Amino acid sequence: MLFIMKDVPNKPKRPFLITLMSILSVYAGLRFLYQAFLALIVAFDISNMIRFTVGGIVFLSVGIGLWLMKKWAVHLYALFAIVNLIVLLLVGKFDVWSVVIPGIVVVIGYIQFSKMS
């Protein structure tokens, strides 16, 4: 007996670049959380631990959001990139790659924005 389901909507396929950005974001989030753990255990540096923990949570959230094709993930990454640029300027660690790489990610995210929910 065959069942034909007519009312099941097809989910849009996740674009390759969004999949790649999602995987890299989750990886970066896990690395940030690992660095937070090291900052606390090895150096007992609370300020770096907090910074790495916040970064890790944001990157994990962005990675999961991109995997689920959510628009808020692109907005969250763009906001985090702006805050990060301001912090880098204030501490004197700013360079060209601090703008180029987040800029590429944000542009790709907004190009694929219409496919997200």
* Distance in Å from the first CA to the final CA of the chain: 35
Residue 113's pLDDT band (boundaries 50, 70, 90)? confident
Q: Is residue 7, in this structure, part of any structural domain at all?
A: no
Residue 35 maps to a domain? yes
Residue 28 included in any domain: yes
Residue with the larger pLDDT of the pair 48 and 77: 77
How far apart, in whole angstroms, are the C-alpha atoms of residue 89 and residue 92? 5
Which tokens go with 89?
């300027």
User: Averaged over 28-45, what is the pLDDT?
Assistant: 88
Find out whether 77 and 110 touch, Cβ atoms under 8 Å. Answer: no
55/77 Cα distance (integer angstroms): 11
Nearest to residue 77, comparing CAs of 16, 12, 22? 22
Does any domain span residue 86? yes
Q: How far apart are CA 94 and CA 86, in angstroms?
A: 9
- The number of domains in the chain is 1
Give the gyration radius of the chain's Cα atoms: 18
Q: What percent of the chain has pLDDT over 70?
A: 90
Quick one: pLDDT at residue 63?
A: 94
**pLDDT score at 115:** 84
pLDDT above 80: residue 31: yes
Domain assignment present for 9: no
Q: Which domain holds residue 81?
A: 16-115
Query: 6 lies in a domain?
Result: no
